[in-house]
Amino acid sequence: MNNKFDALQIEDSGEEDVGDTGFRPAPKPGPGEHPLQFNYSIWFSRRTPGNKTAAYDQSLKFIASFASVEQFWSVYSHLVRPSEMSGHSDYHLFKEGIRPMWEDDANKHGGKWIIRLKKGLASRCWENLILAMLGEQFMAVEEICGAVVSIRHQDDILSLWNRTASDTATTTRIRDTLKRVLHLPPNTIMEYKTHTDSIKDNSSFRNTDKFIR
């Protein structure tokens, strides 16, 4: 077992820049592992202090891909929890092949649900959100693109991206599942924003459509 990982780690000499995005495909699930419906990739981004205009895609770093429940845990256990991240930082967990960008082919007609959380809740809510996504609890197999946790100054924000913003039946079902898996109280404000609107105002979380149930 160790030999396999030693071999794979030859390239990983602790360098941050692995050229382009550094994307590496997920290993095939080994014997005894539980395969996931989709392979996923986890990415990290952080806004450089004092440089608000730095291109987002420059700050985006590919961390790892995984194909099984066990591979997910081995990656997740080697990452700090979202609430322990400093500054203006995000984790992005997307299906392998979908870049966490509005402009990606899988995202360009899509949008996202946004949930703003008080400080202190992000780590647990993020875990509940991604476990529901990896376990296919959203009943929207092809529609889910990925999830993001954004650590910000005032509050922390969870987002769940889906492929087709105009498909209200699906987005409503996703919203209801979100409420269930995150244990959101009934009067929680949920916000939806299409990626075309985000591209127009160059903002992830301003000018959203608000829904209260």
Partner 1 sequence: MSAPESEKQQSKVRDIPIRRVVLNDISQLPSEYSSTPGGTFFSTTPGGTRIVYDRSFLMKCRNSPLAKSPPANMLNIPGITSPAKNVEENGDAQDIKEEGDKNEKVSAEDAQFEMDI
| Residue 165 CB coordination number (10 Å) | 21
Stretch touching partner 1 by CB under 8 A, among 33-41, 101-109, 163-171, 202-210: 33-41
Q: How many residues at the interface with partner 1, by CB under 8 A? A: 61
Nearest Cα residue to 138 out of 108, 96, 95: 95
Q: Does 12 bind partner 1 (CB under 8 A)?
A: yes
What gap in Å lies between CA 13 and CA 189, rounded to an integer?
45
Q: Pick one of 57, 58, 73, 203: the residue that binds partner 1 (CB under 8 A).
A: 73
Smallest separation (angstroms) from partner 1 to the CB of 142: 10
- Binding to partner 1, residues 187-206 (CB under 8 A): 188
Phi, psi angles (nearest 5°) of residue 49: -55, 135
Token couple for 113:
């649900």
Residues 16, 101, 149, 49, CA torsion sign? positive
158 binding partner 1? (CB under 8 A) = no
Q: Which residues of 21-40 are buried (b: 16+ CB within 10 A; e: fewer)?
A: ebeeebbebeeebeebebbb
Segment near partner 1 (CB under 8 A), from 100-108, 165-173, 178-186, 192-200?
178-186
Per-residue mark of binding to partner 1, 85-104 (x: CB under 8 A): xx--x---------------
Write out the two tokens for 26.
């997920």
- How many residues appear in the chain? 213
Out of 160, 162, 182, 192, point to the residue binding partner 1 (CB under 8 A).
182
Q: Which of 39, 64, 149, 198 binds partner 1 (CB under 8 A)?
A: 64
Task: Report, in angstroms and rounded to the nearest whole number, the Rg of the chain calculated over CA atoms.
Answer: 17
148 binds partner 1 (CB under 8 A): no
| Residues at the site binding partner 1, with contacts judged by CB under 8 A | 1, 4-5, 8-9, 11-12, 14-16, 18, 22, 24, 27, 30, 32-37, 44, 61-64, 66, 69-75, 77-80, 85-86, 89, 116-118, 121, 124-125, 128, 131-132, 134-137, 141, 181-185, 188
